Copies of this chain bind each other. A is one copy, B any other.
Amino acid sequence: MKKSFLNKLTIVLLVAISTLSGFKVQAQEKPVDLVYPHLDAANSRWFFFSSACRPFGMVNLSPDNEIGGAWGSGYRYDTHEVKGISHVHAWQLSALSVMPVNGEAKDLKDDYYSPFSHETEVVAPGYHKFILDRFGITAELTSTTRVGFHKYSFSKAEQKSILVKLNGPNGPCKIVDGKIEKVNSREFTGYVTNAPTRRRPKETPVFFYIELSEPTQELVTWQENEISEKSKGVEGMDAGAMLVFKDKQEKPLLMKVGISYCSAEEAKNNIKVELNHWDFDKVAADSKEDWNNWLSKIQVKGASKNDRVRFYTDLWHGLQGRRIISDASGTYCDMTGDGRKVKQIPLDKNGKPKFNHHNFDAMWGAQWTIATLWPLAYPQVASDFCNSMLNYYNDGGLIPRGPSGGNYTYVMVGASSTPFVVSTWMKGIQDFDIDLAYEGLKKNHMVGGIMGKAGYEHRTSEGGGIDKYIELGYVPHPHAPRAEAYHKDGAGMTMEYSFQDWTLAQLAKSLGKTDDYNYFLKRSSNWKNLFDTSYGFIRPKDNEGNWRTPYDPYEYQNDGFVESNAAQMTWYIPQDYAGLAELMGSKAAMASKLNNEFAQAQKLGFTAGKKHSDENRKRARNISINYGNQPSMQCAYIFNDIGAAWLTQKWSRAVIDSVYTGVSPYVGFNGDEDQGLMGSLSVLMKIGLFQLDAGASENPKYQIGSPIFNEITISLSDNYYSGKTFKITANNNSKENIYVQSVKLNGKSLGRMYLLHDEIISGGEMVLEMGPEPNKELK
């Protein structure tokens, strides 16, 4: 009775939250209550949407409305039909789609989709409830990190069943093989196997262990059209299963599903470790509390309710997507070699794994997003990712830039992990093997490393052009015509390599490797070889050193630049904006030019479109600066570095207003949040701290921008940092008062427009006075 009452109360509260009403008294606001999971859900891709999921959770359980393809699939707001409930929505991977139903296998096995309605839906961090209208079943979902927890309330008691999908399309690929085996009437185990993809070329099984709150009457399985009643299990292609219950009452049915990339046993163990009870509401509440703790690492006050909702939704996105793949025991699956190998993360003195191992989409753009956010507010996460990368290095011989299924995908280009690792180290997060890391990073920057490979280049190492880069000082474009790879864009790669070289040089310097420092520092100026002074823009060169012709600085992609154009990539030189200014005439000339590029981009709303696919529309994709993707998302903060801080304030606020302010299923991240990158970017711009160079230099700088909140309090990790909190106060802040008039740090005028890492992590307060007119003297 009490539990039921609480349950109802929770639902009422969640409804209130999700509709953004109530909570007039700001003091009562909990960050988790502000998260709006439906943001951008109309433009969802497979791994974008989350509900029943923990931070970086291996399991993220949610209904799928579209199931075909990596794009436009998963939970899609405008498709009002559930086609299954999957446990894994990850980069190149899905796993275990189930569906509670009423009926018989013969009728339903190929026809079990059900309409649902947003009107009866509740969705919040760690919790999802919806009604399958066809069956009258209310499904509720929550999870621990590795276990999905289902609660199904059947309105009809007859033929209560749960369909288990063991084949067919599910997100980025087909499930080509599956198995389910009955352990006993309440426990089932098995796996589903993801077909290879162009990006993840090996079959990848995901194991599951199912535990039920009540016994099944029988397991019905099928293979193609042959249905087996009272089955012990089934395995192979075109298989499926239905768990049929004898219970004719309407009491809710609970189901735990442990997931593992290693084995069914580890899946079972994940349940044992993480979910040893049947109290669904407690898990939902725990999940909520878990999220609230994570989200509360950055507390904000002021601005509008809408702004705070969007902020915590952005932050929430910054803490998922790049999912854990190791088990509670520390086992994980190494797929870098010839076969599947189950391996073990070292354990600490308490017998717990020293870190969580991860899958993740590209680190391409991480330098301006998670490389700042995580070390600042979640240093343990940054540490885990560095250790994950070293784990891959130990297993496969390369530090990855976006692994999936325990193996490399070679997504995008360059050694995009280098800035992240260097930044983490430079910030004093040093609980990983830096010698091993340096060895791996350096390998990536040389022939034989990841800079030799362009996008998804699995079989060869030609598309990356590192040999040409070393020989000629740039990667020619076009080049490597026969290499089976995407993004063989020489100029774009040159720009990225140059910057990544600079970050590696900083680490070399810090480690006393002077020769390496000099070598990579020299390479870091290779961008100059592609700077065409006659246009003031980067321009591709061919193998003979001829400028690319015809050339249009705004022509999008396919012309030497990766998901960008020359105009955007010209600003991709955080290692040397002084050098760029010199080539453009002066810092003032450069600021004027960049200011104009922003003014041009503003006409298109600062993004190449509202959907990733919009970038195929010529006018939009030829934008001067694009805040819908990673290549030019640092641009607003460049002004800070060249004596025009007020323009950073102006344009970062304009971008926030235009791109990162809306709260609806139809806006958000222009259809591609990229697993925490765009969410993190938005968070950083909104708190007014940004690291142009990824924070890869010693005692790294944080550029001071124009925070949108009156108060921002960052909790500093006890394990890594000496201070308790760093607070930013922006007095007189408003939508109009976007300009910083003065900056004080701990009561003293700062005299510069950046903070040093040490100043933040030792705790304290920065006070900004805000006003409607720029103070152009602040530099």
A592 at interface by CB-CB < 8 Å: yes
A280: shortest Cβ distance to chain B, in Å?
Answer: 55
A603 at interface by CB-CB < 8 Å: yes
Is the pair A535, B602 in contact by a Cβ cutoff of 8 Å? Answer: no
Is the pair B536, A600 in contact by a Cβ cutoff of 8 Å? Answer: no
Which of A140-148, A207-215, A547-555, A628-636 is the contact stretch? A547-555
Is the pair A532, B603 in contact by a Cβ cutoff of 8 Å? Answer: no
Given contacts A533-B536, A534-B590, A536-B534, contact A551 B600 (CB under 8 A): yes
Closest B-chain residue to A580, C-beta based? B534
Which residues of B have CB within 8 Å of A552? 600
Identify A603's interface contact among B533, B535, B547, B550, CB under 8 A: B550
A346 at interface by CB-CB < 8 Å: no
Closest B-chain residue to A590, C-beta based? B534
Closest B-chain residue to A603, C-beta based? B550
Closest B-chain residue to A581, C-beta based? B534
Query: Which bracket fits the contact residues of A?
Result: 20 to 34
A6 at interface by CB-CB < 8 Å: no
Which residues of B have CB within 8 Å of A549? 592, 595-596, 599
Which residues of B have CB within 8 Å of A602? 550
A84: shortest Cβ distance to chain B, in Å?
Answer: 45
A115 at interface by CB-CB < 8 Å: no
Is the pair A534, B603 in contact by a Cβ cutoff of 8 Å? Answer: no
A593 at interface by CB-CB < 8 Å: yes
* A628–B592 alpha-carbon span in the complex (Å): 33
A584 at interface by CB-CB < 8 Å: yes
Which residues of B have CB within 8 Å of A547? 592, 596
Is the pair A599, B551 in contact by a Cβ cutoff of 8 Å? Answer: yes
A267: shortest Cβ distance to chain B, in Å?
Answer: 56
Chain A 578-593: CB-based contact to B (< 8 A → 1; otherwise 0): 0000001100011011
Interface residues of A in 88-140 (CB under 8 A from B): none
Is the pair A535, B533 in contact by a Cβ cutoff of 8 Å? Answer: no
Which residues of B have CB within 8 Å of A589? 532-534
A6: shortest Cβ distance to chain B, in Å?
Answer: 56
Is the pair B584, A534 in contact by a Cβ cutoff of 8 Å? Answer: yes
Which residues of B have CB within 8 Å of A584? 533-534
Chain A 534-561: CB-based contact to B (< 8 A → 1; otherwise 0): 1110000000000101111000000000
With most chain B CB atoms within 10 A of its CB, the pick from A535, A547, A590 is A535
Identify A532's interface contact among B534, B593, B600, CB under 8 A: B593
Which residues of B have CB within 8 Å of A536? 533-536
Given contacts A534-B593, A536-B533, A593-B532, contact A550 B585 (CB under 8 A): no
A529: shortest Cβ distance to chain B, in Å?
Answer: 14
Chain A 141-177: CB-based contact to B (< 8 A → 1; otherwise 0): 0000000000000000000000000000000000000
A134: shortest Cβ distance to chain B, in Å?
Answer: 50
* A42–B593 alpha-carbon span in the complex (Å): 44
* A337–B602 alpha-carbon span in the complex (Å): 51
Closest B-chain residue to A585, C-beta based? B533
Is the pair A596, B533 in contact by a Cβ cutoff of 8 Å? Answer: no
A742: shortest Cβ distance to chain B, in Å?
Answer: 26
Which residues of B have CB within 8 Å of A603? 550
Identify A535's interface contact among B535, B550, B551, B599, CB under 8 A: B535
A500: shortest Cβ distance to chain B, in Å?
Answer: 26
A624: shortest Cβ distance to chain B, in Å?
Answer: 9
Interface residues of A in 674-718 (CB under 8 A from B): none
* A536–B533 alpha-carbon span in the complex (Å): 7
Closest B-chain residue to A601, C-beta based? B550
With most chain B CB atoms within 10 A of its CB, the pick from A536, A585, A595 is A536
Which residues of B have CB within 8 Å of A600? 550-552
* A153–B589 alpha-carbon span in the complex (Å): 73
A702: shortest Cβ distance to chain B, in Å?
Answer: 27
Which residues of B have CB within 8 Å of A599? 549-551
* A533–B583 alpha-carbon span in the complex (Å): 9
A418: shortest Cβ distance to chain B, in Å?
Answer: 30
* A592–B547 alpha-carbon span in the complex (Å): 8
Which residues of B have CB within 8 Å of A551? 596, 599-600
A235: shortest Cβ distance to chain B, in Å?
Answer: 58
Interface residues of A in 494-525 (CB under 8 A from B): none
Interface residues of A in 591-647 (CB under 8 A from B): 592-593, 595-596, 599-600, 602-603
Identify A550's interface contact among B533, B534, B550, B596, CB under 8 A: B596
* A550–B532 alpha-carbon span in the complex (Å): 22
Which residues of B have CB within 8 Å of A596? 547, 549-551
A525: shortest Cβ distance to chain B, in Å?
Answer: 18
* A603–B549 alpha-carbon span in the complex (Å): 12
A414: shortest Cβ distance to chain B, in Å?
Answer: 27
* A589–B531 alpha-carbon span in the complex (Å): 11
With most chain B CB atoms within 10 A of its CB, the pick from A550, A584, A590, A600 is A550
Is the pair A534, B585 in contact by a Cβ cutoff of 8 Å? Answer: yes
Give me the 5 closest cross-chain CB pairs, A-B, nearest first.
A550-B599, A534-B593, A533-B585, A534-B584, A534-B589
The chain A residues found within 8 Å of chain B, CB to CB, are: 532-536, 547, 549-552, 584-585, 589-590, 592-593, 595-596, 599-600, 602-603
Q: A532-B592, A535-B536, A550-B600 are in contact. List 10 more A-B contacts (CB 8 A).
A: A532-B589, A533-B536, A534-B589, A534-B592, A535-B593, A536-B536, A549-B592, A550-B602, A550-B603, A551-B600
A-B contact pairs, 16 of them (CB 8 A): A532-B589, A532-B592, A533-B584, A533-B585, A533-B589, A534-B584, A534-B590, A534-B592, A535-B535, A536-B536, A549-B592, A549-B596, A550-B602, A550-B603, A551-B596, A551-B599
